[in-house]
Amino acid sequence: MAEKRTTGEWQALDRAHHMHPFTDSKTLAARGTRVITRAEGVYVYDNEGNKILDGMAGLWCVAVGYGRRELVDAATRQLLDLPYYNSFFQTSTPTQIELAQKLSELTPPGLKHFFFANSGSEANDTIIRLARLYWSLMGKPNKRTFIGRTWGYHGSTVAASSLGGMPAMHTQDGKNLPEFAHISHPHWYLRGGDLSREEFGIQAARELETKILELGPENVAAFIGEPVQGAGGVIDPPMTYWPEIQRICRKYDVLLVADEVICGFGRLGHWFGSEMYDIKPDFMPMAKGLSSGYLPIAASAIHERIFEVINDKAGMVHHGYTYSGHPAACAVALANIELIKKEEIIERVRHDTAPYFRKAMEQVTNGHPIVGELRGVGLLAGFQLVKDKAKRTVFAPEQEVGIRCREFATQNNLIMRPLGQSTVVLSPPLVISHSEIDELADKVKRSLDATAKLFGFA
């Protein structure tokens, strides 16, 4: 256990020794880190004792909420029985086997094998390797290029960030890896012009066909997309988008990867986003909601037709992680899935909480001077902040409108996050109650009102 220290002491030590992910160290050092010490339900508490409503479920992951004994007990029991053993040497541990079997019941048809990792990034790295291996075993070794989307997010390893289309990550790295290409994100509000959502969905999907033809189908391994783009600013595609993407993938023999790291495990009111959008993926990475973030674990689901080729022809597959299928993380994931089932959390999200959440957020945003569009499905919301509604003009990045809004949210003891283009997002724990949603809506309203005032709207 960490010692008790004052917030100032923690901040000094943090400044001296801790480098944070996705952080401007200088700004952080000047203002001092916030120290979160405990959590319960949908609230986190800082070292000063402030009770903060976690509108982001950690980083999209704490699906079942904080403080669930079932998950803690599962980890404790497993750590006592067998804290670690690997699965490299023709060995397995029971929780790995059970989790793989359980996932095969929950995922879309045809996904029967699961490769474990510790993060969404690693799960995507696994898929890059396996997809290229598959094509090479099929006698098409040139099919290596992955096509992703602008503002897509697939993780932060060198390969996963190349799959993604986060402009700042690519700019800072200077050069993307070769054999990764991108098409535009299906953001109707900003890109749709005079088209209806449905028309725009088709047009956005057709970019994939153009890109495949440009690269040559004989060079394209796979297309990857999040069913709903999360880190890009909660971009839910028109319903016409995924059917057209799938038609194009089949036409050109391009594999389809549905990145379910955010959408999986109930976020959209279904076990997976692929169910909601009727996506039939060849590979499906999952992470965040898989263990509700209690321990790090990820999995890549592999379609039978891919697995069988690799199984028949590859021999040894030279890939894996020391902690692939960590026994305690698998035990926590199993307990998490059991809890989601027992408490019918996904049914509740679909039929009750998500509609209630949507209505509450609509009440906040309808006619709001700074909100051009409210996006989202299930328990995801994206608030598109605009300078000019008629022209759908967003704020310039240097105006940092999202960051200002987050600062107001922080003052209101609410965690919400600026992401994508002039957008703030919410992704609360799936167990959030009606009264907590009311509180959330009230805090969001105060934060948006203050942001609008700061930017000169009455």
Ligand X SMILES: *Cc1c(COP(=O)(O)O)cnc(C)c1O
* Residues binding ligand X (CB under 6 A): 119-121, 153-155, 226, 230-231, 259, 261-262, 287
C-beta separation of 49 from 23 below 8 A: no
> Of the two residues 155 and 372, which places its CB atom closer to ligand X in the complex?
155
Query: Which residues have CB under 8 Å from 340's CB, separation 6+?
Result: 63, 64, 265, 266, 346, 430
User: Could you tell me the smallest distance in angstroms from the CB atom of residue 1 to ligand X?
Assistant: 26
Which residue's beta carbon is nearest to the bound ligand X? 120
- Is the backbone of residue 362 left (phi > 0), alpha (psi -120 to 50) or beta? alpha
> Of the two residues 180 and 395, which places its CB atom closer to ligand X in the complex?
180
User: Could you tell me the smallest distance in angstroms from the CB atom of residue 434 to ligand X?
Assistant: 27
> Of the two residues 121 and 292, which places its CB atom closer to ligand X in the complex?
121
User: Could you tell me the smallest distance in angstroms from the CB atom of residue 421 to ligand X?
Assistant: 17
> Of the two residues 166 and 431, which places its CB atom closer to ligand X in the complex?
166
Q: What is the DSSP letter of 326?
A: -
> Of the two residues 225 and 372, which places its CB atom closer to ligand X in the complex?
225
> Of the two residues 262 and 295, which places its CB atom closer to ligand X in the complex?
262
C-beta separation of 150 from 186 below 8 A: no
Q: How many CB atoms neighbour CB 163 within 10 A?
A: 28
DSSP code string of 254-314: -EEEE--TTTTTTTTSSS-HHHHTT---SEEEE-GGGTTTSS--EEEEEEHHHHHHHHHHT
User: Could you tell me the smallest distance in angstroms from the CB atom of residue 185 to ligand X?
Assistant: 13
User: Could you tell me the smallest distance in angstroms from the CB atom of residue 134 to ligand X?
Assistant: 21
Query: Which residues have CB under 8 Å from 253's CB, separation 6+?
Result: 217
Helices 94-106 & 327-342, crossing angle to 10 degrees?
40
User: Could you tell me the smallest distance in angstroms from the CB atom of residue 257 to ligand X?
Assistant: 10
User: Strand 414-415 to strand 51-54: parallel, antiparallel, or no bridges (unpaired)?
Assistant: parallel
User: Could you tell me the smallest distance in angstroms from the CB atom of residue 365 to ligand X?
Assistant: 24
Q: Kindly state the helix (H) or strand (E) to which residue 382 belongs, with its residue range.
A: strand 381-388
> Of the two residues 230 and 372, which places its CB atom closer to ligand X in the complex?
230
